[in-house]
Structure 1
Amino acid sequence: MTNFLFVASENDAINNCKVGGVGDVIRDVPIQISDRGDQVHVVVPSYSRLHLSGKLVRKLEIELKGETYVSCIYEVPGKEARSNITHYVIHHPEIEAGNIGGIYHHDEEPFFTDVVKYIIFCTSVAEAINRGVFGKLDIVHLHDWHSSLLLFLKNYHPEYKTLERLRFIYCIHNLALQGIRPFENSYSSLKNWFPEVNFSYEDLRDPRYPDCFNLMAMGIRFADSVHTVSPSYKQDVLLPSDAPEFIGGEGLEEDLRKADKDKRFHGILNGSNYHGLNEIKKNQLFQNIVTTIFRQLQNESDRSKAEFLAHTGEKVVPLVKKKPKFICASVARLTEQKFYFFKRTPESLLQILDRLAEVGGVYVLLGTGAADYESLLRDISYKRDNFIFINAQCEKVVNSIYRDSDLYFMPSLFEPCGISQMLAMRHGQPCLVHHTGGLKDTVQHVHTGFTFEGKTYDEKVYNMVESFKEALHFFHNDKTTWKQIQLNARNMRFTWKKSVDEYYRLLYSSNNLEVQIA
């Protein structure tokens, strides 16, 4: 039996610990590993709340800033009990709940608060490994920059030499977020937290900011194997970025090319969960939206937010009884990655809404995020009756969007893998996506959905609108082709079994590890 430890910032296998796709991966991959008969431990931060339902396993004394910090590791229940999987959280007062989904912080200084809390978290995990909390480990699978400090501790910290015998795998979920902070002269600096540790500045240095360390770069440089969450995103990040026409390696392309040359770098497509599809009731979308809005109104003290909720409710209530003739929908965090085209060229969204209005259609967009994106979408909601902006998070509404919409829209500037298109396709919903990253690997034009691309930014935006018109044309004028696209989408299977087979073959194998693929 191989003993695994998964270290991440999110875990949707426990309650209230998910913002994005990382949570889905950390929920689903351990299940596949445990089904093969191997043991999996999963650890995430507590964010000042997740430990409350847990059982204290051990207090951990760690040296940080020249002081002794005491953190606690708790075993917590999963949403479902699974043999061979154990879930843990690390609690410390400075590992705070963030203002993004109760997990991440959005600071004026990028990553200031998050780097601090993940330093405490990772050092606590290293101490838990030292103390044998997870038993005799074989493989540690790290996810994004939030966990990569373990590789700094492995390489430079004299207290954590035990980490050297373990095989470390590093997963890049989103290369655009790198955890960059100064080496010195900041509360969040490496020297502040590890004043007595001797390390190589050059090994940790950010390629663009020489006075800063880069946690994403640490993962790429020091892990035994590195992987992205789709084959096409791997190819993208080997090239330099030329934003906004192309988002590639974001300054780390040389590190990634070296890892690729060393045969340490792989692109493996994420999977999707295909269980329980029939549990989501059909034709509940607008009812669920109304319920969500009224619940929020009862608790909303901000007058402007309450007014917008009431405005949205007024548009949705009539749709409960009279369904629109076409429903386009999106679910995403409101960020540059997801909606840059709308922010820079709002006319493109207005053109899409006008075309929808001609056929009696609506566009439902659910999400929260950056203030400027929220403001833009609220303004457009006031201008267009058929734009329904749900500025909230609600799992029932999200599930109904995947179940009840006619077209799922993902105009991402870049996309490492994307999970939403898979969730929509499993219900037979065609997707309209930007032909980039993992979206290339999952959506085929006029076969399982629709795509757009272009050599210049203006060409991309123009083609986005034209592809939307093309999708509407097939829906209204070529029902035979539309139904075939729906069937093709429903029949696609991006299974985690296939993905984890590749994990075992490409990532988990080593000279002293027997690899078995179920």
Structure 2
Amino acid sequence: MHVLMVAAENDALPNAKVGGVADVVRDCPKALVEKGLTVDVVIPDYGFHDLDRHSLGVVNVAFAGHMQQLEVWQLAHSQKGVRQLVISHWEFSRHHGAVYCNDEAGRPFATDASKFALFNAAVCEALLQGLICKPDVIHLHDWHSACVALLLKTDSRYNDFSTLFLAYTVHNLALQGIRPFKGDTSSLEAWFPSLGYDGQKLCDPRYPDCFNPMRTAINLVDKIHLVSPTYCQEVLKPSDPVNGFFGGEGLELDLQAAYQQGRVVGILNGCEYPGDELSDVSFAHLYQHAESALFQWMAKTSELDSAHYIAHQRVLKFKTQPFSGPLVTSVGRLTDQKVLLLCQPYDKALVLDELCQRLKQHDGYMIILGSGDTELEKVMTTVMARQDNLLFLKGYAHFVGEYLYHLGDLFLMPSSFEPCGISQMLAMRAGQPCLVHGVGGLRDTVQHLETGFSFNGESLTAQSYELITGFTEALALKNADPKKWQGICEQAKNARFSWQSVADGYLSYLYQ
């Protein structure tokens, strides 16, 4: 079986990772190859000029009223049998290597939607011209690849490919890439003015005059994959954000219909074992890498960012005045999905303040690594200024994250929803138990009082209370019963979520 994966991210290539989808697109193809499949992966070329590669040819694509010329490249060296492809065009690389762009208020996804629509059209044209070999299965990832399904199923130019088996993985239903049907330079009819389509299948349920790529793929593909069994059930229910539940995000009716048709499967993502081998797992190296990252971030602007300044002062404090108690860690993007509960009000401050105060009772401290939403970054910075046992590193640095996984005592992941999650698997792999909200993939990977700790709650207030309670109880257990704590650490380290089992699931349930 030959599979073509189409995605926006791929951590097999340098600087092509933003979130967990990059890990999936890097690791899962290797497991499929081990099962005897042939796998090609294609993403946009974000400026990979220094890679050893050769051209497969040029495609000319009618897009937005003009003929666009794009080049298809193959990397010279495959990754464990996986053929790596990129498609280059000035539109993909003009944002200084950034995978995604932030648009002005009122035009969400505008730049990225146009960019990925062009990329998708180039993939289809490369298939038509034979520059990309015709596969048995095309595996699309998230809304960024949805226009491949749209074009293959509705554009008569691709009639010979209309029966190709299409699998679609939803990594995060909260991001759907919604754009207008028309009336904007970044709209479906602006990109493909001659395309005939059924608007009832493509429109957003909440905004009928808008094109919804996520919904389009859900309605057109053969199989839909949610990245954990629990998340697969959650998305069949409507979201209720006021009470802290995030489910179908407006697409629950489409997913219910697909589920009844047998087109929806829930397969948990995997993790590689062993992970990165660190030569010296020490706090000295952690602080060295943290300082180095801070200096690099500071150097990007002429004005000193207060978050970086306070963080550097805090690193110096941690180095010279070490704590005797536990280290609580957190690594991930700063989004409402990840930190909404930490930012809830509690006793004239925030939940995060309360966690720091309770941690201080054990002479413990917390390190948070991540960036994302500007307002949430400000919240983290102001809490760091108030709590002297909190270090917030605003950015991402690979080795800082790896040291935090290995050196931390308790990993904090209180996501309001989590399709699968990778950070908890990486922490567990390193023997660090996690405190998680019992939703989505977190529920499927962390077993309370066996491999970690979990909490629940029927409202935001209840979830905030249960988070603080669970945090307090976990710290108390570590202090009062070291033997049981060590047992939890060992069970976390021995838990396995292998890509081999994921590949088996794909072959049995997703690719047929």
Which TM class, normalised by the smaller chain length?
Answer: over 0.9
Q: Runs of 5+ in structure 2 lacking a partner?
A: none
RMSD value, Cα: 1.6
- Of the structure 1 ranges 277-286 and 241-250, higher mean CA displacement relative to structure 2 is found in 277-286
* Maintained 8 Å contact 2:10/2:25: yes
Distance, in Å, in 1 between the alignment partners of 2:440 and 2:108 is 25
Q: Shift of residue 318 of structure 1?
A: 4.0
For the pair 1:91 / 2:88, whether they are aligned, the reply is: yes
Determine the structure 2 residue equivalent to 1:156. Answer: 154
Tell whether the 8 Å contact from 1:170 to 1:220 is kept in structure 2 after alignment: yes
Distance change >3 Å, CA 321–CA 35, structure 1 → 2: farther
Alpha-carbon spacing, 1:493–1:128, altered in 2? closer, same or farther (3 Å): same
Name the stretch that deviates more: 318-327 or 484-493. 318-327
Give CA-to-partner distance per residue, 1:166-189, whole Å, 9 cap, x none: 211000000000111110101111
Equivalent residue for 1:515? Answer: none
Match of 1:63 in 2: 62
CA distance in 2 between partners of 1:295 and 1:317 (Å): 17
The 3-state SS of whatever aligns with 1:57 is strand
Q: Secondary structure at the residue paired with 1:4?
A: strand
Structure 1 residues 9-67: Cα deviation after superposition (integer angstroms, max 9, x where no partner) = 000011110011000000011101111222111000112x1255232221110111232
Q: Distance in 2 between matches of 1:56 and 1:409?
A: 45
For residues 411 and 155 of structure 1, the distance between their equivalents in structure 2, rounded to whole angstroms, comes to 40
Is the aligned partner of 1:426 residue 2:429? yes
Which residue of the partner structure matches residue 342 of structure 1?
342
Q: 1:88 to 1:421 in 2, by over 3 A?
A: same
CA distance in 2, matches of 1:207, 1:331: 34
CA distance in 1, matches of 2:493, 2:134: 42
Q: What amino acid maps onto 1:338 in structure 2? A: K
Residue aligned with 1:487, SS: helix
Displacement of 1:494: 0.4
Q: Which amino acid aligns with 1:436?
A: V
| 1:113 alignment partner in structure 2 | 111
TM-score by length of 2: 0.95
Q: Which residue of 2 aligns with 1:44?
A: 43
Give secondary structure in 2 for the equivalent of 1:372.
Answer: helix
Match of 1:296 in 2: 297
Residues 312-357 of structure 1: CA distance to partner in whole angstroms, max 9, x if unpaired? 1222124336643211011111111111122333521111001111
Question: Is residue 6–residue 41 contact of structure 1 (8 Å, CA) maintained in 2?
Answer: yes
In the other structure, the counterpart of 2:326 is: 326
Once residues 218 and 241 of structure 1 are traced to their aligned partners in structure 2, the CA distance between those partners, rounded to angstroms, is 20
Residue 332 to residue 77, structure 1, CA distance change in 2 (3 Å): farther
CA distance in 2, matches of 1:114, 1:278: 35
Structure 2 equivalent of residue 504 of structure 1: 507
Instruction: From the superposition, tell whether residues 188 and 356 of structure 1 become closer, same or farther in structure 2 (CA, over 3 Å).
Output: same
Residue of structure 2 equivalent to 1:470: 473
Q: Please, which of 455, 458, 461 is the counterpart of residue 461 of structure 2?
A: 458
Deviation at 1:256, TM superposition (A): 0.4
Equivalent position of 1:279 in the other structure: 278
1:131 to 129, 132, 150: 129
Describe the SS at the equivalent of 2:161. Answer: helix
Structure 1: runs of 5 or more not aligned: 510-518
What secondary structure, in the 3-state scheme, does the structure 2 residue paired with 1:207 have?
coil
CA distance in 2, matches of 1:17, 1:236: 29
Amino acid at match of 1:94: E
Alignment map for 1:404-423 (pairs within 5 Å): 404-423=407-426
Give the structure 1 partner of residue 309 of structure 2. Answer: 310
Query: TM-score scaled by structure 1?
Result: 0.94
Q: Report SS of the residue matched to 2:91.
A: coil
- The match for 2:262 is 263
Give the Cα–Cα distance (whole angstroms) in 2 for the partners of residues 207 and 360 of structure 1: 51
> Could you list the per-position Cα deviations for residues 235-257 of structure 1 after superposition, in whole angstroms to 9, with x for gaps in the alignment?
00000000142100011001101
Does the residue aligned with 1:142 lie in a helix, a strand or coil?
strand
Structure 2 counterpart of 1:209, which letter? Y
Alignment match, 1:7: 6
- Write the letter of the residue equivalent to 2:99: I
CA distance in structure 2 between the partners assigned to 1:497 and 1:321 by the alignment: 45
The residue identity in structure 2 corresponding to 1:26 is: V
**Equivalent of 2:484, from 481, 484, 488?**
481
In the alignment, the residues of structure 2 paired with residue 253 and residue 294 of structure 1 have an alpha-carbon distance, to the nearest angstrom, of 45
Q: How does 1:11-30 map to 2 (within 5 A)?
A: 11-30=10-29
Cα deviation for residue 8 of structure 1 reads 0.3
Q: Percentage identity across aligned positions? A: 39
Indicate if the aligned counterparts of 2:140 and 2:166 stay in contact, CA closer than 8 A: yes
AA aligned to 1:239 is K
The residue type equivalent to 1:269 in the other structure is L
Contact 1:37-1:84 at 8 Å conserved across structures: no
Cα separation, partners in 2 of 1:321 and 1:500, compared to 1, 3 Å: farther
Amino acid at match of 1:289: A
Q: Which amino acid aligns with 1:88?
A: L
Q: Is the 8 A contact 1:14 1:77 kept in 2?
A: no
SS state at 1:279 partner: coil
**1:352 aligned to 2:355?**
yes
Compared CA separation, residues 117 and 300, structure 1 to 2 (3 A): closer
**Secondary structure of the structure 1 residue equivalent to 2:350:** helix
Amino acid at match of 1:332: G
What is the one-letter code of the residue matched to 2:474? A
